[in-house]
């Protein structure tokens, strides 16, 4: 490896190509983190909505049961 690093190709790889690859990997990692954060927020919002709808449905079922029992 020591000899390769002294060649033109080796210097280009070490000084240009590998740092560029590292930068792109950082960009990918940052993008994945943002995507995961957005998905987590979306999941929490959907969960809250689901829980609210469940409570509303339970409440409306209870109301209909009260109406049914009062009609008897």
Q: How many residues does the chain have?
A: 72
3-class SS shares of the chain: helix, strand, coil, % to 5:
95, 0, 5
Taking residues 7-19, report their average pLDDT.
Answer: 96
Residue 4 neighbours by CB under 8 Å, 6+ apart: 10
CA distance 45 to 39: 10
Number of structural domains found in the chain: 1
Domain range for 62: 2-71
Confidence of residue 64 (pLDDT cuts 50, 70, 90): low
Residues 20-58 pLDDT 10s: 999 999 999 999 999 999 999 999 999 998 888 887 777
With 90 as the cut, is the pLDDT of residue 65 above it? no
Farthest-apart Cα atoms in the chain, separation: 96
């Amino acid at each position: 490896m020591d000899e390769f690093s002294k060649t033109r190709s080796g210097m280009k790889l070490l000084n240009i190509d590998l740092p560029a690859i590292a930068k792109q990997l950082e960009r990918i990692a940052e993008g994945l983190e943002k995507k995961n954060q957005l998905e987590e927020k979306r999941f929490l919002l959907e969960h809250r909505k689901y829980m609210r709808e469940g409570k509303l449905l339970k409440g409306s079922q209870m109301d209909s049961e009260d109406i049914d029992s009062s009609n008897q």
